[in-house]
Each structure stands twice: as C-alpha cells, then as structure tokens.
Amino acid sequence: MKVTLLDHTLDPVSKIGQMAAICYDAKTDTESNLKRASHCKDKGHLATLRFAYATVNIQGISRVCSHQLVRIAIAGILQESQRYVKHSKIEFVTPPAVQTAPWWYQLAWKGVLGVSEWLYLTGVKLGLKKEDARYILPQACTTQLNLCLNFQSWRDVLNNRTKKSAQWEVRELAEEIQRQLHEIAPEVF
C-alpha cells in the first residue's frame, strides 16, 4: 500500500484559527490563530476543522478495503475503474492470516487468484468487454483512489478506522494517513 498526500490547506492550523475568529470576535494574527485553533480542538468546537482539508492518493489496497472508504458519504472520492482501465497483470492483497495458514491452503488461495486473473485477461483477449470480464475478479484485487475530506471528517474517519477492532488493512491505511496528516497539522492530528 502506498499513501501520497496530494493536496491540503496551506498552513491549516492557522487557517482554522483564522476562520474561528468570527465566532469570538477575536484577533487574527498568526499567534492568536494558532492558539485559537488548538483551543477549539481541545474544547470540542470541531466544526472549525471543516475549514481545512487534505486529499490523499491511495494505491495498492484491496477492493475490500476500498469498500470501507467509499461508504464515507461526506468524502470526495475518485476510484480506479475496473470497467475502463486495461490491466495486463492483476495484483492482489493477501491477508496476513492467509500467509500463516497451512501450505495447502496458501497454495489453493494462490491458485484461485491465478485462475481468476487468467480468466479475466483471457476473456478480454477474446473480446469480452472489460466491464463484463471483471465479474470474475475477487475483492482481493488491488485498486487506487483519491480521497478528499475536511479535517473534521478526517478526525472522525481516523478515530473509527485506527481502532484495534478495525479490519487490519483499513487500520494500517488509516494509521499511515494519520501519520502524514500529523506532519502538516500536529495540533489537530
């Protein structure tokens, strides 16, 4: 999996503080903005976080993981299309639990993935439309997407997806996104 921060609000913490100044009829110098943004976050005035955003590109996750992300109603999401993108090789995500299963299970797992890849690629070569050939592909297929959220939404998503109870792949993804967002706004993340 690879996460790349594509775009974000410049100086996001100061921007949040500047936008929140209207709520308090307050000064908008840089120092006041930074203090105000931290104060708003600490006191739960999280609506102020809506005035900063970040967009990430996520590559190499499974369709299983992407399905947990595309349900985020407030997010801006663009996902790689299996209908239009032509693949010459299909890549798959294998859960760690499969990698520690008995050898015969691992062999069968790889065999099923290999057959589905072969059927897809052969079907396309035979003239099947990609939109029809894709029906044979398992959810372990990798995909990529761009995901854009404001900071309030990112905090909510990351809070839910970094919990120990979250599915392993989406938890690893959320932890990496949180690490990158912390680099640009440590006061918020």
**Range 2-79+141-184: architecture per CATH:** 2-Layer Sandwich (3.30)
Kindly write down the DSSP assignment for every residue of the chain, as one continuous string.
Answer: -EEEEEEE-SSHHHHHHHHHHHHHT---SHHHHHHHHHHHHHHT-GGGGGG-EEEEEEEEEEHHHHHHHTT-TTSEEEE--TTT---SS--B---HHHHTS-HHHHHHHHHHHHHHHHHHHHHHHTT--HHHHGGG--TTBEEEEEEEEEHHHHHHHHHHHTSTTS-HHHHHHHHHHHHHHHHH-TTT-
pLDDT at residue number 25: 84
Q: pTM of this prediction?
A: 0.92
Report percent pLDDT > 90 for the chain: 89
Structure tokens at 152: 């309030």
pLDDT at residue number 73: 83
Average pLDDT over residues 122-129: 96
Q: Which residues contact 11 (CB under 8 A, 6 or more apart)?
A: none
Average pLDDT over residues 64-70: 95
Asked whether residue 177 carries a pLDDT value surpassing 90, the answer given is yes
How sure is the predictor about 13, in pLDDT bands with cuts at 50, 70 and 90?
Answer: very high
149 CB neighbour count, 10 Å cutoff: 23
- Sheet holding 76-79: strands in order across? 2-8, 53-62, 142-150, 76-79
pLDDT at residue number 17: 94
Higher pLDDT, 164 or 26: 164
Supply the residues annotated as catalytic: 161
- Ranges of each domain in the chain: 2-79+141-184, 96-136
**What CA–CA distance (Å, rounded) separates 184 from 41?**
16
Asked whether residue 26 carries a pLDDT value surpassing 90, the answer given is no
pLDDT at residue number 89: 93
Average pLDDT over residues 146-163: 96
Residue identified by tokens 């938890």 is 171
Structure tokens at 89: 């090789």
Average pLDDT over residues 26-43: 90
How sure is the predictor about 69, in pLDDT bands with cuts at 50, 70 and 90?
Answer: very high
Average pLDDT over residues 77-92: 93
